[in-house]
Amino acid sequence: MKNQRIFISGGAGVVGRELVSELHNTGASLLVGDLKPVPREFSSGIQYRQGDLNYISKEELDLFRPDVFIHLAATFERSIETYEFWEENFRHNIGLSNYLMTLLKDASYLKRVIFPSSYLVYSTEQYSFDHPQKKAVRLGETDKINPRNLIGSAKLFHEMELNFLNAFCNEQFATVSLRIFRGYGRGSRCVISRWIRALLNQEPIQVYNKAGLFDYIYAGDIARGIIKVLEHPDLTGIVNLGNDNARSVGDVVNILKTYFPGMAMEESDLDIPYEASQANMDLFKRKTGWMPELQLEDAIPKIIEYEKNRKSKSGIPAFNVLVTSASGKIPLIESVQKGVRKIDNVGTVIAADVNDQCLAAYFADGFWKMPPTDQLSPEDLMTYCKKENIGAIIPTRDGELAYFATFKQTFEKENVHVMVSGLQAVNTCMDKLCFCTCMQKNGLPAIPTCLHLEDIRGDAFVVKERFGAASNRVGINLTINQAVAHAKLLSDPVYQPFVGGVEISVDIYIARGGVIKGMVMRTRDEVVNGESRVTTAYYDKKLQQLCERFVKSFDLYGHIMLQIIQDTQGNFHIIECNPRFGGASTLSVFAGLDSFFWFLLEARGADITDYSFVFDKEKKIKQVRYPKDKIIIER
């Protein structure tokens, strides 16, 4: 496997953790995706992508160019499937499998697909009985198919999808569907792990149908079985993977008794058939010369030791996001929601505003009528955040940035992270006179800014408020008399020479440590009330270099937006920096600048170094902003 490039979905799961570690030791180059945070045991050399893979892009996969795709990602319910599982099964089993293969099926670099399916695709009439059996039925790859639940149906459906693709793409890549039997392992939700957790907590275990026979296979052996498939490229199609050694539920209980001699057990026989199934491993053994190595007696002690040392609970906690001064910023709210969904389906986006009739309240997952920041103590804000399980705050208004920058570190101590730059950088960006002075000191092309009109040379002028957003009552391309008159309308006017040319916005995401994660440049083709109604993304190398110089001069973090003029001679002039997400910045998100996803990952403690920023420099993308209706039916 040395030098092979392998993409593993669901790589932080029970089997995935075993597989990733073994493949990494062979020298394979790995891209691992999962909803869960990166496991602590993973090496820094493994490229990890936390988040919902329903949102991974073709460009990200093209950047990695995997030779092999191992599709472990799946959702399970071990006992009776609940009503709520309907949507979960479709999204994370059927939908995800189809989506990932849609991205990869035409990729020239892909050579092999390995899909861990399940023995649940086999017809239960072959291995279910009214009475206990002394011997299990060995199920072979050609035996009758009739999935017994939604999981089995989803697995079979993707097997069929792979068979379909084989009819068209068999010369491009080969596929293997491994029908895995009763898997168990460290950190699993399987009955063995659940019993061990209960016994460690000195709780009784519920035991049903002790005579049932199952083919238990340890996660480490599943991982080794997948590696054996990788080592044998001639192995394709449908293949069983189990121990070929059925054991009763009573065997599991007896092994646990040796480690928990005082165990309490509540035993009963459910009014359901007795299972007696076992993998026929003849094909796998003939093709690879290998059989699973660990039996229940070998693996159960490993799980007990793991559960004893386990410090964190399983599952993904809710991680809600507060968007302040939400007002009518519907595209921004929707972009944040998409960023949350990319990580999990648990977190929600709460819009906050002083006006409880604001439009954002109709689009967010929740709403908070938030007091003005000058009336809101950091203690009261943290009380609300803890009550609503908020882990991240995204300020959206210039006037509140200094408040959040002031208390940013205080909030982080409470595990609430704010997408805002340092206080000094915020104050500098909000003060246009100070911003110009700082730019000039760092040798950056600033438009001269003065407190007095007579200090400005030229025949045309710009007059604007010194503090806050430039679009607030700005006067552009004014004569000297018009400039004098306009200044009287402002609280703290500053003056600039008017520079004609192309208006440009540059959206930049700056990760922890001041590292630029990505940037998107866009022309402001039509501007209304200071915001771009029509804007077009493009690329300019010299402008990129200028923006990189700018970022090195300021203590900035998160999403920022530079406003720039390119004059008729092609020279760039930096007008201002808005250290927040802009009104038309949603175009940059579409173009690959995944600011909210990256911020939320960092808020959860992830290192986003290996997360891809992909921008097609040859393509121009235009965004047109327009009003849209929302219909709400109330009963």
Structure pTM? 0.84
From 285, 201, 273, select the one nearest 239 (Cα to Cα): 285
Per-residue model confidence (pLDDT) at position 3: 85
Give the span between the Cα atoms of 72 and 350, in whole angstroms.
Answer: 33
Give the span between the Cα atoms of 259 and 308, in whole angstroms.
Answer: 12
Per-residue model confidence (pLDDT) at position 314: 42
From 483, 543, 511, 535, select the one nearest 609 (Cα to Cα): 511
Per-residue model confidence (pLDDT) at position 359: 95
Instruction: Give the residues of the chain that fall short of pLDDT 70.
Output: 78-79, 269-270, 311-318, 469-472
Give the span between the Cα atoms of 245 and 298, in whole angstroms.
Answer: 14
pLDDT per residue over 63-109, tens digit each? Answer: 999 999 999 999 987 667 788 899 999 999 999 999 999 999 999 99
In DSSP terms, 322 is beta-bridged to 350, 393
C-alpha distances out from residue 249 to 15, 254, 540, 605, Å:
22, 9, 66, 41
Per-residue model confidence (pLDDT) at position 333: 97
Per-residue model confidence (pLDDT) at position 619: 85
What SS3 class is residue 284? helix
Give the span between the Cα atoms of 357 and 362, in whole angstroms.
Answer: 9
How distant is the alpha carbon of residue 592 from its chain centre? 14
Alpha carbons within 13 A on the beta-carbon side of 627: 2
Helices 14-25 and 219-231, axial angle in degrees (round to 10): 50
